[in-house]
Amino acid sequence: MRNWNGARVCVTGAGGFLGSHLCERLVQEGAEVRALVHYNSRASCGWLDHSPVARDLEIVPGDVRNADQMAQLVAGTEVVFHLAALTTVPWSYAVPASFVHVNVDGTLNVLEAARRAGVGRFVQASSSQCYGTARQVPITESHPLQAQSPYAATKIASDMMVDAWHRTYGLPTVTLRVFCTYGPRQSVRNIIPTIITQLMRGPRIRLGNLHPLRDYNYVDDTVEAYLLGGAAEGVEGATLNVAGRSEIRIGELARLIARLMGTDVEIEQDPGRTRPASSEVDRLLGDHSQAAARLGWEHKVELEEGLQRTIAWYRDNLERVTPPVRSFV
């Protein structure tokens, strides 16, 4: 198992929800972190603007679509955590080409940079959306892949590229197929922050489909899986599920959050938030036994505890979260 103290690490997508949490944990473990954040005219580093470890990071503004920059970014690092991606399923309906450019072309650029730099481990951040609606549960790594959205199609493509770079070029890769992560800093486009922030304004909330079943991981558990994926021996070329062991329907989730917030809830279904029937992933329940056996990873933060932490964060930081024009589920 790798000792992170002094390890030279690169994180793409470092300014986002998961990336910022991962960077903070790596700094706590003593790693030297080069953090790629998406360049923008505001000179913002995303959530790293507010991070207590920002001064301990080498923050690099840029874009995974630029191959030359990715070569410079990765040079001299030992481990690459590739989290940069466009992730919102409904947005992928509107701009599928952008998802291909970032999630597929961007992954190609980072893979090639890692191959040429001879990195010791490439950790690919994958998604349970690659499986589509469960054909059998719990979902194991051998479950068929089914793209039910442009987003899922691009994640499947990027995962297959990672697998090919391992088989073809011997790049030491690990793909972590993470089931629904939640926690502080997550965009209010996602279902749990959507419910929390709407309930903070009153008991009547508007959601899309209420029937889908989801399997949730608190962000600290997901970050732990990334660290283990970057450190464990003998897992090169593996694809492993990071799953929470239980499932809950969206409607039940809204009622649970309302109870934890001490409020009533009235749910109104909004057709504008409803995904096309053939695109909706109805059930996700993962089997993480391979991650437990090969990484030593276990789901630790149960849903109610994680929701309480998340609710507390949004209550204290609502002014730092800008709701979109329309929140998607």
Cα–Cα nearest to 220, from 298, 123, 291, 114: 298
Q: What is the mean pLDDT of the chain?
A: 95
* 3-state secondary structure labels for all residues of 234-272: CCCCEEEEECCCCCEEHHHHHHHHHHHHCCCCEEEECHH
Write out the DSSP string of 137-163: SSB-TTSPP---SHHHHHHHHHHHHHH
For the entire predicted model, the pTM comes to 0.96
Q: Is the pLDDT of residue 325 over 70?
A: no
Q: Is the pLDDT of residue 324 over 70?
A: no
DSSP 61: E
Write the single-letter amino acid at 280. Answer: E
CB 23 within 8 A of CB 223: no
Computed over its alpha carbons, how large is the radius of gyration of the chain? 19
* Portion of the chain with pLDDT greater than 90, in percent: 92
Instruction: Report residue 322's pLDDT band, with 50, 70 and 90 as the boundaries.
Output: low
DSSP 210: S
CB 71 within 8 A of CB 111: no
CB 196 within 8 A of CB 257: yes
Asked if CATH classification 3.30.470.20 holds for the domain at 8-184+218-246+284-301, the reply, yes or no, is no
Per-residue pLDDT at 254:
98
Per-residue pLDDT of 138-197, as tens digits, reads 999 999 999 999 999 999 999 999 999 999 999 999 999 999 999 999 999 999 999 999
Cα–Cα nearest to 137, from 270, 18, 267, 284: 284
Distance CA 306, CA 287 (A): 20
For the chain, give every domain's residue range. Answer: 8-184+218-246+284-301
For residues 269-295, average pLDDT: 94
DSSP 222: H
Within a 13 Å sphere around the CA of 169, how many CA atoms are in the beta-carbon half? Answer: 20
Distance CA 280, CA 282 (A): 6
Distance CA 74, CA 224 (A): 22
Q: Is the pLDDT of residue 327 over 90?
A: no
Q: Is the pLDDT of residue 3 over 80?
A: yes
Instruction: Report residue 328's pLDDT band, with 50, 70 and 90 as the boundaries.
Output: very low
Instruction: Report residue 274's pLDDT band, with 50, 70 and 90 as the boundaries.
Output: confident
Per-residue pLDDT at 1:
72
* Portion of the chain with pLDDT greater than 70, in percent: 98
Per-residue pLDDT of 62-85, as tens digits, reads 999 999 999 999 999 999 999 999
Per-residue pLDDT at 319:
80
Write out the DSSP string of 196-209: HHHHTT-SEEEES-
Per-residue pLDDT of 219-253, as tens digits, reads 999 999 999 999 999 999 999 999 998 999 999 99
Among the ranges given (16-20, 50-54, 132-136, 268-272), the one the predictor scored with the smallest mean pLDDT: 268-272
Phi, psi of 103 (to 5 degrees): -80, -30
Q: Is the pLDDT of residue 329 over 60?
A: no
CB 154 within 8 A of CB 131: no
Per-residue pLDDT at 2:
81
Per-residue pLDDT of 37-62, as tens digits, reads 999 999 999 999 989 999 999 999 99
CB 196 within 8 A of CB 267: no
Residue 134: CB atoms within 10 Å: 20
| Cβ neighbourhood burial of 136 (10 Å; 0-12, 13-18, 19+) | exposed
Per-residue pLDDT of 104-113, as tens digits, reads 999 999 999 9
| Residue 80, both tokens | 């690459």
Per-residue pLDDT at 28:
98
DSSP 7: -
| Cβ neighbourhood burial of 195 (10 Å; 0-12, 13-18, 19+) | buried
Among the ranges given (107-121, 186-200, 312-326), the one the predictor scored with the smallest mean pLDDT: 312-326
DSSP 95: -
- Which residues have CB under 8 Å from 112's CB, separation 6+? 67, 70, 71
